[in-house]
Structure 1
Amino acid sequence: MGHFVLLRHGQSQWNLENRFTGWIDVPLSTKGGEEALAAAQQLSRYRLDRAFTSKLVRATDTLRIVLAAIGQGRIPIEENQALNERMYGDLQGLNKDETVNQYGAKQVEVWRRSYDVRPPGGESLKDTAARVLPYYQERIQPAVEKGDTVLIVAHGNSLRALVMHLEDLSSQQIVDLTIPTGALVVYALADQGKLVRQDRDAASRARKL
């Protein structure tokens, strides 16, 4: 039976500094490397067939650390910007607390958590899904349906868009879904090609980040 594993990259330097990152290419923090190694321990139970990642270094480095730690560095890997984090536009690089002081907590919460409201100059979660889902359906889903064990290393919002699709969550339900850095979300391929969530408690629904 194949498995489909989603992994959010380890903590980045800008996660540590509480900044909006988006498409800015920011490396992992020391803690982020440790989170990648912790994820590798959980992934060591699986024999991976292939992996997919965004183009951003915090994701590619997380994948590299994981595969080296579990001794599976020779599997096919595909990088694509369709899996990149949502683009935060004018908010990129800004400290989140300072942004709240400038725009108000309610407005920042809408920009960060809503489904279809864009931050200034940026993407909404709906916009992010519009590039993630076609890529998933064309490049990843066929491997999953074949029974391969597939790993995706990506970002909080690109993975939220994918979970929303896989679990048929509403635009209201997705507001409360957070995937912490270094966290896994695991699905198993069941009868008739249906993906069944195996770790429903692993993705925190508290609004941490």
Structure 2
Amino acid sequence: MKIYITRHSLTAWNEEKRLQGWKDSPLTKQGKEDALKLGEYMKTIHIDQVYSSPLLRAKSTARLIFKNENIIEDSRLKEMNFGDYEGEYIQDLKKQHDYFCLWHQPQLSFSLPNGETYEEVVFRLNDFILEKYNEDPQQTIFITIHGMLFTILHGIFLDLPVERLNEVNQEIVRGCSLSLFEFDGKKHKIDFIGKDCFLTPLKEKISYK
């Protein structure tokens, strides 16, 4: 099974450097333009089914990319729940020990206050991947997800346990860049990550660390 992956496009809270999680903010003008550019690029690639996180920023991105295609929302593709820290400014959160552990010492990270654990997110992602593989091992799917979710999915495809997730390149993948992973029922394979040759060059990278 082939899995094409994109992260939702640029949002208002991305620009304001605020943590989103299960809270939401609308796509910016640039975000909408980037999604349309990815849509043009995807016209040359066959996709059997499109799936999206049900959060507005993700499904809005998917709709701009695929327009009239059937897009299935799946709650297992939602961003990690960051609990009480959602909506806060990243710069302020960097002072919090549990937020630091989330990114740099996952073996010490249980969950942010009222949020999800790494293990909970890994479980729902694996559940989604196995279900889609069992439905049709030969299919090619496209998923629209989120920054931390992509980092965790990357770790899964590197076969890393939760306590080693900090070994993943944790630069947040650019919104509307394209990645391709494969799964044969047992082995994980990463073909490429973060292809963005079809997008306008970034002025500034977004970091949550």
**2:157 pairs with 155, 166, 176, which one?**
166
Q: Which residue of 2 aligns with 1:142?
A: 134
Pairwise CA distance, 1:175: 6.1
* C-alpha separation in 1, matches of 2:54 and 2:154: 20
Task: Name which of structure 1's ranges 23-32 and 194-203 shifts more when overlaid on structure 2.
Answer: 194-203
How much is the aligned-residue C-alpha RMSD, in angstroms? 2.8
* C-alpha separation in 2, matches of 1:152 and 1:162: 12
* C-alpha separation in 2, matches of 1:155 and 1:143: 24
Gaps of 5+ in 1: none
Pairwise CA distance, 1:193: 7.9
Which structure carries more helix by proportion?
1
* C-alpha separation in 2, matches of 1:184 and 1:174: 17
1:86 is aligned with what amino acid? M
Q: Which residue of 1 aligns with 2:145?
A: 154
1:5 is aligned with what amino acid? Y
* C-alpha separation in 1, matches of 2:76 and 2:182: 23
Question: TM-score, normalised on structure 2?
Answer: 0.79
Look up the SS of the partner of 1:151 in the other structure: strand
Task: Name which of structure 1's ranges 109-118 and 82-91 shifts more when overlaid on structure 2.
Answer: 109-118
Q: Which residue of 2 aligns with 1:127?
A: 120
Q: Which residue of 2 aligns with 1:16?
A: 15
Native 8 Å contact 2:83 2:112 kept in 1: yes
**1:119-158 CA distances to partner (integer Å, 9 max, x unpaired)?**
22212333211222212212x223562x222100011122
1:45 is aligned with what amino acid? T
**2:85 pairs with 76, 91, 97, which one?**
91
Q: Which residue of 2 aligns with 1:179?
A: 173
Do the aligned partners of residues 201 and 134 (structure 1) sit closer, same or farther apart at CA in structure 2, a change above 3 Å counting?
closer
- Asked if residue 40 in structure 1 is aligned to residue 39 in structure 2, the reply is yes
Pairwise CA distance, 1:83: 0.8
Give the aligned length: 195
Task: Name which of structure 1's ranges 13-22 and 167-176 shifts more when overlaid on structure 2.
Answer: 167-176
Look up the SS of the partner of 2:5 in the other structure: strand
Q: Give percent identity, aligned residues only.
A: 22
* C-alpha separation in 2, matches of 1:10 and 1:109: 25
Native 8 Å contact 2:178 2:194 kept in 1: no
Pairwise CA distance, 1:25: 2.6
* C-alpha separation in 2, matches of 1:115 and 1:175: 14
Native 8 Å contact 1:5 1:187 kept in 2: yes
Do the aligned partners of residues 122 and 188 (structure 1) sit closer, same or farther apart at CA in structure 2, a change above 3 Å counting?
closer
Question: TM-score, normalised on structure 1?
Answer: 0.79
Gaps of 5+ in 2: 197-204
Native 8 Å contact 1:3 1:144 kept in 2: no
* C-alpha separation in 2, matches of 1:177 and 1:141: 28
* C-alpha separation in 1, matches of 2:150 and 2:129: 11
Look up the SS of the partner of 2:125 in the other structure: helix
Do the aligned partners of residues 165 and 158 (structure 1) sit closer, same or farther apart at CA in structure 2, a change above 3 Å counting?
same
* C-alpha separation in 2, matches of 1:202 and 1:113: 25
